Amino acid sequence: MALSLKPESRGQLLWIKQYEAPPDNATRYLRAIDPVNRVIIFLDKETFKYSGYSLDTETTCGQQLHQQTSLTSPTSTQLTDPFSATVAYGKLYNSGFAGVLYCYDTKNGDLLWAYGDDGETFGGLQTPWGNYPLFIANIADEKVFLFSGEHSPATPLYKGQKVRAVDAITGEELWTLLGSMGYPPRMWYPVAEGFIAYNNMYDGQIHCIGKGPAPSE
């Protein structure tokens, strides 16, 4: 159901719709809401399928717009879990332990690009997973800020993990810095006034990253 938050109609029921349960006893829950394209994003937990429904209060209220058959890209057969997902700029960003960041159009569910498919997150023999896990820390200034880590890191820490910035529109890698950041739910880092701050487990210090000085002519 959808309820109004406008002061003059706060709490008023806008619409209510019932849906058939997903097949194979899958668990479906609300994952994100895109205010740009006015889409509700649901996730089927066991099958890693996203589906989009209209948020509008007119004739299309609650109408299904699309459903992903799988969270893979044309250049990868690796299925990524929807551990880390968020919405910005009319797009759904998803990443997880497979080490690939996927970007989908929330209007139709089309895959726009994937970062990590070309070896950008490959860990070689440094980890047992192949790619370094990739988690979304924040999105700002049309950039997706990413980090790698795990639930219970052993000592010594896995080598070569990085903090990353990726163009939120094109998927282009903008920069990387060496850094290990632990388990995602405890490690989101803030972005404000052109700076990001994060705790680097490699050196036990808080790092603050800004734009830096302009190059000399």
Q: Which residues contact 215 (CB under 8 A, 6 or more apart)?
A: none
185 compared with 137, residue with greater pLDDT: 137
- Class of the domain covering 73-209: mainly beta
CA-wise closest residue to 198 among 163, 167, 173: 163
In angstroms, rounded to a whole number, what is the distance separating the alpha carbons of residues 70 and 48?
7
**Rounded to an integer, what is the distance from CA 33 to the centroid of its chain?**
13
pLDDT at 78 over 50: no
Q: Give the global pTM.
A: 0.85
For 79-134, how does the pLDDT look when each residue is reduced to its tens digit (9 = 90+)?
A: 455 567 899 999 999 988 888 999 999 988 888 999 998 889 898 887 777 888 88
Residue spans of the domains in the chain: they are 73-209
For 197-210, how does the pLDDT look when each residue is reduced to its tens digit (9 = 90+)?
A: 998 989 989 999 99
103 near 87, Cβ under 8 Å?
Answer: no
